[in-house]
Amino acid sequence: MLETDTDVLDDFGEAVLNGLSLPQKAIPARYFYDRRGSELFEEITRLPEYYPTRTETDLLRVHAGDLARLAGYGRTLVEFGAGSATKTPLLLTAIAAPTYVPIDISGEFLNDSAAALKKRYPTVQVLPVIGDFTKSLVLPRFSGPLTGFFPGSTIGNFGHRAATDLLRSFRAILGENARLVIGIDTRKNPRLLETAYDDACGVTAAFNLNLLHRINRELGGTIAVDAFEHRAVWHDGLGRIEMHLLANMDMTFRVAGQRFSMRAGETIHTENSYKYTPEEARLLARASGWEPLAFWTDPHNCFGLHVWAA
């Protein structure tokens, strides 16, 4: 019988085999973002139901003057992630950053977006760093204090303990007198949250189900994707939206030579997206060694833009 050699499995393969072996099956959310997944996420950010992207973008625009005063004018800007074509330029211009340092795990994605930015802002020095900012990471030396940028409520994908550890490590990476501009999604009416994560056009469903296609494609999976449904549920006690893939029949399948079975009604947990009240966000700052400096929100209190000081 042909068995896939577990030794040759990459990070993704290992995470999937481990995750499918848990009593509550679970796969970390960072594996959504293959090429197709990244395209689908782009589409999500333009959905009427998905308020975070446009709300945060508006906040960056409206508070450009405040950012210039509070977020470190003329400093090197370090972004945790490859950067968004609309949000990054807004902060870069607001603080008149001479140098931009995007950090991302995907070299391909990073170089594409760095090249695009260089073209639009020829006077900004762009120094991409390929690396995993959830692991230990050292930046080249820069003169003067740094400003970090962590938009999109990406922090919401981390549990409270992991979020605190991550923000603490950002502080260590950025060094003395740093600032952090961070977007954090707000706790709100569960119906609004569930709609934002289960849109009428089914784009978020396609984004979630793409993970199964990715497993089939990259890990020789035999999963019947049609036998799964997208679910988004708000968990009030934990303050998070959970995304799941729900099996609608009993089934067995193989991944990388290993056999798995699922019962009808059983799920694979694919994402947590934690939400914070403004007070909880400030507690998160202090718990990870940052001092909250400023907080702005939209008229509906949908999304929070924070500036913290080291």
Residues 180-199 that bind ligand AVJ (CB under 6 A): 197
Q: Taking CB under 6 A as the rule, does residue 88 contact ligand AVJ?
A: no
**Of 46 and 217, which CB lies nearer to ligand AVJ in the complex structure?**
46
Considering the rule CB under 6 A, would residue 271 count as an interface residue with ligand AVJ? yes
Q: Does residue 154 touch ligand AVJ according to CB under 6 A?
A: yes
Q: Does residue 57 interact with ligand AVJ by CB under 6 A?
A: no
The reply to whether 157 sits near ligand AVJ by the rule CB under 6 A is yes
Nearer to ligand AVJ, 114 or 193 (CB): 193
Nearer to ligand AVJ, 20 or 44 (CB): 44
Least distance to ligand AVJ, CB of residue 301, Å? 17
90 forms part of the interface with ligand AVJ (CB under 6 A): no
User: Among the candidate windows 11-19, 98-106, 151-159, 283-291, which touches ligand AVJ by CB under 6 A?
Assistant: 151-159
Q: Does 153 bind ligand AVJ (CB under 6 A)?
A: yes
| Piece of 54-62, 137-145, 146-154, 301-309 that binds ligand AVJ (CB under 6 A) | 146-154
Per CB under 6 A, 273 contacts ligand AVJ: yes
Q: Which residues have C-beta within 8 Å of that of residue 156, sequence separation ≥ 6?
A: 184, 185, 240, 272, 273, 274, 275, 276
**Complex with ligand AVJ: residue 164 or 272, whichever CB lies closer:** 272
Question: Which CB sits closer to ligand AVJ, 166 or 310?
Answer: 166
User: What's the min distance (Å) between Cβ of 154 and ligand AVJ?
Assistant: 5
Whether 235 and 242 have beta carbons less than 8 Å apart is answered as yes
Q: Residue 204 interacts with ligand AVJ (CB under 6 A)?
A: yes
Q: How far is the CB of 57 from ligand AVJ (least distance, A)?
A: 14
d(CA 99, CA 102): 10
Cα angle 203, 10, 41 (rounded to 5 degrees) comes to 15
Secondary structure of the chain as H, E, C letters = CCCCCHHHCCHHHHHHHHHHCCCCEECCHHHHCCHHHHHHHHHHHCCCCCCHHHHHHHHHHHCHHHHHHHCCCCCEEEEEECCCCCHHHHHHHHCCCCEEEEEECCHHHHHHHHHHHHHHCCCCEECCEECCCCCCCCCCCCCCCEEEEECCCHHHHCCHHHHHHHHHHHHHHHCCCCEEEEEEECCCCHHHHHHHCCCCCCHHHHHHHHHHHHHHHHCCCCCCHHHEEEEEEEECCCCEEEEEEEECCCEEEEECCEEEEECCCCEEEEEEEECCCHHHHHHHHHHCCCEEEEEEECCCCCEEEEEEEC
Residue with Cβ nearer ligand AVJ (171 or 240) = 240
Query: In whole angstroms, how close is the CB of 153 to ligand AVJ at the nearest point?
Result: 5
Check residue 56 for interaction with ligand AVJ (CB under 6 A): no
Q: Between 52 and 148, name the residue whose CB sits nearer to ligand AVJ.
A: 52
Q: Say how far apart CA 67 and CA 149 lie, in whole Å.
A: 12
Nearer to ligand AVJ, 76 or 164 (CB): 164
Minimal CB distance to ligand AVJ: which residue?
A: 273
Residue numbers at the binding site for ligand AVJ (CB under 6 A) = 44, 52, 152-154, 156-157, 197, 204, 271, 273
